[in-house]
Amino acid sequence: MSADRPPAELDQWIRRGSAGEEPACAALFDHYYPQVFRLSLGLLNDWHDAEEVAQDTFVYALKNLARYDATRSAFRTWLFTIALSRCRNKRRRKFFELLPLESLAADSVPVPREVESALDRRGLKRQMWQALQALSPQLREAVVLRYLGEMRFKEVGQALGCNPKTAESRARLGVAAIRKHLRGSSLGWETALSEMAAW
């Protein structure tokens, strides 16, 4: 199932959920939680922080379902915008936390165990994930929304509060930076691509 195609029952879930019906809220949660979680994980690179942000996003969204305006954006874009704002807050609060010196080096970005094993299953190297995490927050947001969130540039622009062209430009700059990072790594861009072609 494509992540960007809303389920047929979405309107009904939203209507019933905003009236306080728990099964409708549960259905919305089951459908969208994994997507919100993956987006948060891509932005924060921390399993527990991503869980916290995703849960917090749903608590807010389900309590404020009546405020969702379907004419302004897709439901998923609305959810992602809430999650994005919480990820930014979380990142800001973590800014002053102490980090080990090794983690400042781009090559040693810690990769969550679950992400590492998923990359292994796909025959991908951890450098791919590290290259994504090494991006500036602005570029990473655009790349994560576009590729991990599978959003169109118009939706990325809505979530980031910029126009689609700016969103596209940020995503392309992010991809170029990832390529550059991989060229500098021991893996090499060509090796990465050949591994992906084999998949």
Partner 1 sequence: MSWHSDDPSLRVLAGAVNDIHIPTRAAWLGVRATMRAAVIPAPRRFALRSVMASVSAIAAFFVFSQASLINALADPTVTAGFVPAPQSALSTPVASLPQPAATMTPQPGANVAPIPLPPDRS
Least Cβ distance, residue 12 to partner 1 (angstroms)? 19
Least Cβ distance, residue 122 to partner 1 (angstroms)? 4
- Kindly tell me which of 64 and 99 has the beta carbon lying closer to partner 1: 64
Structure token pair of residue 19? 């009236």
What CA–CA distance (Å, rounded) separates 90 from 71?
Answer: 29
What CA–CA distance (Å, rounded) separates 83 from 60?
Answer: 10
Least Cβ distance, residue 120 to partner 1 (angstroms)? 9
Least Cβ distance, residue 38 to partner 1 (angstroms)? 5
Distances (CA, A) of 66 to 60, 63, 156, 167: 11, 8, 23, 28
- Kindly tell me which of 71 and 186 has the beta carbon lying closer to partner 1: 186
Selection from 126, 104, 139, 109 nearest residue 46 by Cα: 109
Least Cβ distance, residue 100 to partner 1 (angstroms)? 25
- Kindly tell me which of 68 and 147 has the beta carbon lying closer to partner 1: 147
- Interface with partner 1 by CB under 8 A: which residues? 20, 22, 25-26, 29-30, 33-34, 37-38, 41-42, 51, 54-55, 58-59, 62-63, 114-115, 118-119, 121-122, 124, 128-129, 132, 143, 146-148, 150, 152, 175, 178-179, 182, 192-193, 196-197, 199
- Kindly tell me which of 10 and 43 has the beta carbon lying closer to partner 1: 43
Distances (CA, A) of 124 to 27, 63, 140, 145: 33, 39, 19, 20
Other CB atoms within a 10 A radius of the CB of residue 70 amount to: 11
- Residue 184 DSSP label: H
What CA–CA distance (Å, rounded) separates 36 from 62?
Answer: 14
- Kindly tell me which of 71 and 106 has the beta carbon lying closer to partner 1: 106
